[in-house]
């Protein structure tokens, strides 16, 4: 019997009411499309086109350049304008392919061809997923064809579709489950073909009753697929929390979910698997939420990958009352990050633009004090770490203690410790910086 929740976690204001009941609308891009070559974990993709080339929607314009890498697919038809560095959501620049959209959306040959997945071999399924350029759409961006090919497929006991969507304000996965439950269950059935000893689980937080009902209806007659409603708690959608709830398993530093018999993918990724295998449709678009009290019309969109965030803001009617907000985030307020510009393009693993009138981080900085040693940060950590001690080691640059004694690299940067800290200390930001410095030293 699956559990309903995990150890630790917090209950932030979820902000779901802004967009949870707003149906999807399709947004067709107006400007150029920008395709960053490293919109996934692993080595950047290698361009297959040159300036001046004509491209079609669904065409591979950059190929995976390594074992952990992913193809980049043009989401429109048009002409390659440039291959140059362009701004990304992190405030730096990436080598990118810029395509001028001709507005015709002419499909590449073979895109849309229907296939019976049950007639395909394991290798054929994996090749279709790889060709489609699918990565983790929940934020991680890990190439999906790699995740679906563990060393021992027979050891996989659970294939989990993550529909928790616990990050505040974001509601596109909720809408995806309400409207495309058949394709999500179809994707899960395809994944189960790869793992003969596994059962499928669709995990959904209880604050999404419409999504739960929609998925339950579709899989009512499926013997190997179950819907598992779980308590509303952040970060319920984290891989570690999910494995704890469904499989009762914990992974150690350096381990992958497959090492404890689990494969976990976001519901958007699972749907993309279905579209790639059954419809021969590569990853060209995704669900996207624009929300917050700083926009006029919060919305859920189906957006072409490569569209600018400026257009996402336009789709939501611009800033509320025409006033510049204090905080603009790529993602949500817990695990998202402040955007230095809106000229950046939507990548495969970007699911939201959150616009807030007030900056809660700036307000917290005004109230910050020394550590009170209350221990609340340790009580809410879903990994069971001791953020108070980690912070002390990080501030002293005692990286050996941080990594070896306190297991600081296991931190998933969920922000629960920062959220609950009465001293308003920026713990997560400190841990992110410390991890970056340790990993940079290892690379050197």
Residues annotated within the binding site for [4Fe-4S] cluster are 371, 374, 377, 381, 411, 414, 417, 421
What number of other Cβ atoms are within 10 A of residue 52's Cβ? 9
- Where residue 174 falls (left for φ over 0; alpha for ψ -120 to 50; beta otherwise) is alpha
Binding-site annotation, residues? 371, 374, 377, 381, 411, 414, 417, 421
For every residue of 245-274, DSSP letters joined together read: HHH-----TT--GGGGTEEEEEHHHHHHHH
d(CA 28, CA 104): 11
Containing H/E element for 285?
strand 285-291
CB 425 within 8 A of CB 371: yes
Bridge partner list, 158: 199, 262
d(CA 233, CA 366): 28
**In whole angstroms, how far apart are CA 243 and each of 162, 247, 304, 341?**
11, 5, 32, 36
**In whole angstroms, how far apart are CA 47 and each of 56, 72, 109, 442?**
15, 9, 20, 29
Kindly list the strands in the beta sheet with 299-304, ordered across the sheet, starting from the edge strand earlier in the chain: 24-27, 299-304, 285-291, 352-356, 327-330, 337-338
Q: Which of 79, 31, 65 is nearest to 306 (CA)?
A: 31
Token digits of residue 308:
């600018």
What number of other Cβ atoms are within 10 A of residue 322's Cβ? 7
């Amino acid at each position: 019997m699956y559990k309903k929740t995990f150890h630790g976690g917090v209950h932030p204001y979820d902000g779901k009411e802004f967009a949870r009941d707003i149906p999807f609308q399709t947004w067709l891009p107006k400007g150029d499309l920008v395709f960053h070559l490293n919109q996934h974990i692993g080595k950047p993709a290698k361009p297959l086109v040159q300036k001046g080339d004509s491209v079609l929607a669904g065409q591979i314009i950059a190929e995976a350049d390594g074992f952990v890498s992913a193809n980049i697919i043009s989401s429109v038809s048009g002409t390659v304008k440039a291959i140059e560095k362009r701004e990304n959501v992190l405030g730096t620049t990436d080598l990118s392919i810029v395509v001028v959209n001709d507005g015709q959306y002419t499909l590449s040959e073979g895109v849309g061809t229907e296939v019976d997945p049950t007639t395909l071999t394991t290798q054929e399924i994996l090749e279709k997923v790889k060709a489609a350029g699918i990565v983790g759409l929940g934020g991680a961006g890990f190439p999906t064809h790699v995740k679906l090919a563990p060393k021992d497929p027979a050891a996989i006991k659970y294939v989990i579709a993550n529909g928790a969507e616990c990050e505040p304000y974001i509601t596109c996965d909720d809408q995806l489950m309400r409207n495309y439950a058949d394709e999500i269950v179809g994707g899960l059935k395809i994944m189960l073909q790869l793992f003969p000893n596994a059962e499928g689980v669709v995990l959904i937080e209880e604050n999404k009753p419409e999504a739960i009902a929609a998925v339950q209806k579709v899989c009512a007659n499926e013997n190997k697929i179950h819907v598992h409603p779980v308590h509303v708690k952040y970060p319920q959608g984290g891989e570690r929390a999910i494995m704890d709830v469904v499989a009762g398993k914990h992974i150690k530093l350096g381990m992958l979910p497959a090492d404890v018999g689990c494969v976990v993918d976001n519901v958007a990724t699972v749907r993309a698997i279905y579209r790639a295998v059954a419809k021969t449709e590569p990853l060209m678009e995704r669900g996207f939420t624009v929300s917050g009290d700083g926009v006029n019309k919060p919305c859920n969109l189906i957006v072409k990958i490569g569209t600018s965030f400026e257009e996402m803001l336009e789709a939501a009617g611009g800033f509320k009352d025409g006033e510049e907000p204090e905080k603009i985030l790529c993602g949500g307020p817990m695990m998202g990050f402040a955007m230095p510009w809106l000229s950046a393009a939507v990548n495969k693993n970007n699911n939201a633009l959150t616009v807030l009138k007030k900056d809660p981080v700036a307000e917290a900085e005004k109230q910050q004090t020394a550590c009170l040693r209350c221990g609340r940060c340790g009580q809410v950590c879903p990994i069971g770490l001791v953020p108070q001690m980690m912070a002390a080691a990080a501030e002293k640059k005692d990286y050996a203690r941080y990594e070896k004694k306190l297991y600081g690299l296991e931190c998933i940067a969920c922000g629960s410790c920062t959220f609950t800290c009465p001293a308003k200390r920026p713990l997560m930001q400190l841990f992110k910086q410390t991890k970056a410095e340790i990993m940079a030293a290892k690379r050197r």
